Structure 1
Amino acid sequence: MVKRNGLWKLTQLRALMKNVQAGGIREKGIQALIVNGEDAHQSEYSTERDQRRRFISGFRGSYGTVVVMYDKALLWTDGRYYTQALSELDPPEEWTLMKEGLLDTPTIAVWLASNLPPKSAVGADANLISYTEWARLHTSLTTAGHCLIPLPENLVDKVWADEQPASTANVILPQSLRYSGQSAGDKVRLCREAMKENNVTVLVVTALDGIAYLLNWRGSDIPFNPVFFAYVILTLKNVHVFVDRSRLSQEALEQLKNENVDPIFHAYADIHVFMKEIVNSCMDQDKIWISNKSSYALHADCGEIKKHTDITPISIMKAIKNPIEIEGMKVSHVRDSVALVKYFAWLEDKIKNTKEHVTEISGATQLEKFRQEQDHFVGLSFTTISSIGPHGAVIHYSPTAETDMPITDKELYLCDSGAQYQDGTTDVTRTLHFGEPTSFERECFTRVFKGQCRLSTMIFPLKTKGNYLDTLARESLWNVGLDYLHGTGHGVGSYLNVHEEPIGITWKPHPDDPGLQPGMFLSNEPGYYEDGKFGIRLENIELVVPAKTPYNHKNRGFLTFETVTLVPIQTSLLDVSMLTDKEIEYLNNYHAKCLKTLKPFLQGAEKIQALKWLERQTLPISR
């Protein structure tokens, strides 16, 4: 039997590329193939079946795009994954890592335009690329004399063949009004109001978290994300749901009916046929609302009909949590913080007192057990990043049996983790040292904390876009020539995706960002990473709230953040001499809130270890 290693996969893929019936500029063969790791809904995380980028390259990260040519194979990914990609690309001699985000790294479109042979054809699966990205590639390639063509079948799937995992189709359950705070009927009504305001008669919903939010249903088709594979098409009269009906629990069907939604069901695979039918039935004055984030294939189904391509109204509704969702997010973060306090207390005791052997994996397993004790726990919101020493510099490191290392008192320990609860989604990072950190580690940790504090206490005008705030978290690092190569914050769902569009705090342009508004939840997570040595990140989840200011220029309205994560920050890692009075006051107040809020949940003999740890970690600091 042929060993299906990385070189074999590339060889087979290149053979298929030569036989593609390209049309256009060339009658046969494509000179480059674009492969990403997304599904037909442009999801950030994918099922095993949709991990085409990983299959062909070996790279396991959640972000990146592969370009395969006859003599080259390249991976574009961002700073979260540079180190990881270099260790995973298979075979390494066949691959070139393109470090997205660095000034000297061209975009895929620019690189292809200047490196392809004259009049080349580039192929891609149009179902797996958003309209925005397709249009960008098409413009650049056409201008350079090349062409971009949608392939009739996915070439990676042909190489994968019968070893490709099956599709997931798990049961779909209702999300009770007790947690959602708003009926599906009301959400549909608000969507139709937005449709009328924008003179559209059809709304196409493809984002899986948007569909789950709209229908008040939850699933488990994608690991860590409580979503399910479906499409929704709203008209001014009907709700069309494309899903395998056998997956729907009776409770989900009954709840939808009770929330005044009577859907018309279609097979999931019929979406393209129906799209063409509904386009054909549209009048000349009709317009279809389909986000540019949706696939190019669905946009192509629209033909010549007029389109409205803004993000869907569901994206904004979902980002601005209602009072029930806000309360759920707050209390779920309290329970989650209890679990983390128990874990860090347990871990410190194991390392300092019992000298028991705790590894990155066994530590992550124990943390999950503490979370499982909490009410309304469903599962993790992503794979726990439990990383000691040099592994902490791999920003999205995930320990494996081959890489698992003991957690000791000799190096920094970075733990980034989160959970899904029925009433909220959590994501928190803490960096600790159980021994004596170096002066440089202490300085870096202090500068990261200063950045987090600066952002958390900032007051800003209503609807300020997140990327305007990004530099605040970096200022202290930039002052001494340090930086981190990931965004500072992302939106967080309410028992939905832990990374929730369209809001974020990053240096990258975020054109769909509607601006920060009360009720939004975002992460605040500056960091610093020294390759091969250590990683530092501090992450809290922040709720956007109105700010109290003496003035309100032109009634614009001003906002600030309320921190809902309540896990102490290790003061022994801080160089207190570097902190301002305001920063010391902020930290002491934060720790007082952690102690006051969590102490009632840590009563009893079996919780004394966690309570004592919490009391020690929240002692006030001063210069």
Structure 2
Amino acid sequence: MSHLRNLSARLQKLRSLMQNVKYVNEPLQAYIIPSGDAHQNEFLADCDNRRAYISGFTGSAGTAIVTENGAYMWTDGRYFLQASEEMDQNWTLMREGIQSTPTQSAWLTRTLPAGSRVGADPNLVMYSTWKPLQTDLEAAGIFLVPITTNLVDLIWDNKPAVPCNTIHPLSVKYTGKTSDVKVKEVRAEMKEKGARLLVVSALDEIAWLLNVRGSDISYNPVFFSYVILSMDQVHLFVEEAKLTPAVYNHFTVENLQVTIHPYDKLQSFLTDEISCQDGKIWVSPDSSYALSAAIPEKLRIGELTPIPVMKAIKNPVEIQGMINAHIRDAAAVCCYFAWLEKEVVKGTVTECSGAQKLEQFRREQEDFVGPSFETISSVGPHAAIIHYKPCAETDRQITAEEVYLCDSGGQYKDGTTDITRTIHLGTPSQYEQECFTRVFKGQCFFGTSVFPSKTKGNCLDTLARKYLWDVGLDYMHGTGHGIGMYLNVHEGPMGVSWRVYPNDPGLQEGMFLSNEPGFYEDGKFGCRIEDIVRIVRANVPYNFKMLNYLTFETVSLVPIQTKMLLPEMLTGKEITHLNEYHSRCREVVGPLLKKMGHNEALEWLYRETEPIG
């Protein structure tokens, strides 16, 4: 109970600060605590986990709103179960995506009287989120107030320090393009838009642009920084302690002139630039409200910058790197499942120890840096928690009696991986097989689809859900996310979801996405099949209006457990697709397992890829 009392005390302190005119000009009737940091990262450094600190809910997506007498958490279907388990009686879960759940703005306007003040840290909320919320609230006579001193930080005892890890260069052998060339390409776009300056606040965009990587955020090879590009200079705002001689040398080798400024001098630099000369400044609407609002509206180009799309469309070297990384990663995952099959009978493997063993197999692979996210090693009812993270308190034994779902990935210098396989080491029930088969059918239907170039990902989402919808089943997460090249495991601006991605430029050749339908029954089991797919040109007999048709090529190469499938539910086309895929797994991953001397894994691979009739 001390933990619950602790959270109650935190809310009490926060509410008193909401009334304290030392920090707020006038008392607040509500305070918003979003998930993000000043760079709108999905995964956070420990010092930025404010929403988790105040609520106890540790999922990567969610927004908390604290009022004078209530506390509410908006999160999506991936986290319903986790949030309800992690939060105490102070909190009310608001299930986003459910028709009866009001949006945050609708709820605030309905709950608060006119004249109320709603506070939020303008550094932590995207401009594209702030403005519509402000408009909705103003229509009801409610004010959205920027509170520059973060109120959660004021009550956070022993707040972790901001990380300051060293930055490392990534050579053109992996990137396929020097930073000098990338900067020139961005400047050409700036010229076309009439932009004098371009401000970059997204950390993966900065790492990609400069061909450097860091480790300030677990699993994401990024570092805290900002970049401002002019037509003749690159201004990098970063703590100088992070820069090694190798990084300075890298900039010299790549012919890039970089001026270093302290990380916290961005705002003053921008203010000086604005006051001393005119000219448009380009800043993404997905940057923080504080950053965008610092640029006068008449000077601001508030559109998606060119970097996200450039980064998403991989060049030939990056494409080959991604393919190679997935082959090595597949070898590690095959080793793990072969090991697990033998060990499970001893009754000693748990979710945590299994995840550790999998990482051990990945560490054997060339150019491995670390996991790309925390492994979701989940058995039985835990597999129904979409983003379950095993820990000492919840650790469960992996047995031959329950479904086991393992979603994991690796960061390699030549690529980032993300793969989910669901297996049963005993005998699955008919219902588990039916659900899994429907997930497979959707995965196959989506993965073999042909579509015109620049089709929005949102248009393809139903393909993966069709066979679940046929019988009234569904899953509460997107079908596909972009993935970085030795960068963030979730990468925009495109994606495949029931939600519309506002910045989706349309699916294009050279992009990599996940293909991951699933199904989850709370308290029972869950299944998901996730592959990374590369967008390639489709071979079509006609080409209506020269639209340039595309399709997917799967780069993940780990067998799908045929024991979990009901063959009578599959069409001839689906069976052929699966057999051909398994044949590729054998041919491509087999030689690497053989070369590494992993004979048990090789035997397992051959057994698991036996063709089905």
1:564-620 deviations in Å (ceiling 9; x for gaps): 000000001100000000000000000000000111112269512101110110000
Residue in structure 1 matched with residue 7 of structure 2 by the alignment: 6
Q: Distance in 1 between matches of 2:23 and 2:542?
A: 63
Q: Distance in 1 between matches of 2:610 and 2:603?
A: 11
Residue in structure 2 matched with residue 39 of structure 1 by the alignment: 37
- Local SS of the residue matching 1:474: helix
The two structures have a TM-score, normalised by structure 1, of 0.97
Residue in structure 1 matched with residue 410 of structure 2 by the alignment: 419
1:43-86 deviations in Å (ceiling 9; x for gaps): 11110000000000000100000000111000000000000000
Determine if contact 2:347/2:399 at 8 Å carries over to the other structure: no
The two structures have a TM-score, normalised by structure 2, of 0.98
Letter in 2 for 1:5: N
Residue in structure 1 matched with residue 270 of structure 2 by the alignment: 275
Letter in 2 for 1:214: L
Residue in structure 2 matched with residue 133 of structure 1 by the alignment: 129
Residue in structure 2 matched with residue 114 of structure 1 by the alignment: 110
Residue in structure 2 matched with residue 261 of structure 1 by the alignment: 256
1:78-121 deviations in Å (ceiling 9; x for gaps): 000000000101xx221100001111111111111110133100
Letter in 2 for 1:441: E
Residue in structure 1 matched with residue 329 of structure 2 by the alignment: 336
Residue in structure 2 matched with residue 185 of structure 1 by the alignment: 180
Q: CA deviation at 1:265?
A: 1.1
Residue in structure 2 matched with residue 321 of structure 1 by the alignment: 314
Residue in structure 2 matched with residue 527 of structure 1 by the alignment: 518
Determine if contact 1:279/1:305 at 8 Å carries over to the other structure: no
- Local SS of the residue matching 2:47: helix
Letter in 1 for 2:69: D
Q: Distance in 2 between matches of 1:511 and 1:196?
A: 24
Residue in structure 1 matched with residue 91 of structure 2 by the alignment: 95
Determine if contact 1:320/1:518 at 8 Å carries over to the other structure: yes
1:292-313 deviations in Å (ceiling 9; x for gaps): 0000001121124322122111
Does 2:286 match 1:290? no
Residue in structure 1 matched with residue 208 of structure 2 by the alignment: 213
Q: Distance in 2 between matches of 1:281 and 1:130?
A: 27
Determine if contact 2:411/2:417 at 8 Å carries over to the other structure: yes
- Local SS of the residue matching 1:122: strand
Q: CA deviation at 1:356?
A: 4.0
- Local SS of the residue matching 1:203: strand
Gaps (5+ residues) in structure 1?
A: none
Q: How does 1:603-614 map to 2 (within 5 A)?
A: 603=594, 606-614=597-605
Does 2:25 match 1:16? no
Residue in structure 2 matched with residue 57 of structure 1 by the alignment: 55
- Local SS of the residue matching 1:201: strand
1:459-507 deviations in Å (ceiling 9; x for gaps): 0000111111000000000000000000000000000000001011001
Q: Distance in 2 between matches of 1:42 and 1:602?
A: 40
1:488-544 deviations in Å (ceiling 9; x for gaps): 000000000000010110010112011111110000000000000001000000000
- Local SS of the residue matching 2:591: helix
- Local SS of the residue matching 1:469: helix
Determine if contact 1:22/1:149 at 8 Å carries over to the other structure: no
Determine if contact 1:37/1:64 at 8 Å carries over to the other structure: yes
Q: Which runs of 4+ in 1 moved over 4 A?
A: 1-4
Residue in structure 1 matched with residue 580 of structure 2 by the alignment: 589
Q: Which residue of 190, 197, 212 corresponds with 2:192?
A: 197
Determine if contact 1:467/1:506 at 8 Å carries over to the other structure: yes
Does 2:150 match 1:160? no
- Local SS of the residue matching 2:493: strand
Residue in structure 1 matched with residue 120 of structure 2 by the alignment: 124
Letter in 2 for 1:33: Y
Q: CA deviation at 1:37?
A: 2.1
Residue in structure 2 matched with residue 485 of structure 1 by the alignment: 476
Q: CA deviation at 1:200?
A: 1.0
Residue in structure 2 matched with residue 515 of structure 1 by the alignment: 506
Determine if contact 1:22/1:30 at 8 Å carries over to the other structure: no
Superposed CA RMSD in Å reads 1.4
Letter in 1 for 2:225: A
Determine if contact 2:128/2:285 at 8 Å carries over to the other structure: yes
Determine if contact 1:288/1:305 at 8 Å carries over to the other structure: no
Residue in structure 2 matched with residue 538 of structure 1 by the alignment: 529
Does 2:100 match 1:104? yes
1:539-563 deviations in Å (ceiling 9; x for gaps): 0000000000011111110000000
Letter in 1 for 2:40: Q
Q: Distance in 2 between matches of 1:314 and 1:559?
A: 23
Q: Distance in 1 between matches of 2:80 and 2:273?
A: 45
Q: Distance in 1 between matches of 2:502 and 2:233?
A: 31
Q: Distance in 2 between matches of 1:52 and 1:2?
A: 16
Aligned length: 612
Determine if contact 1:489/1:504 at 8 Å carries over to the other structure: yes
Give identity over the alignment, percent.
53
Q: Distance in 1 between matches of 2:547 and 2:595?
A: 49
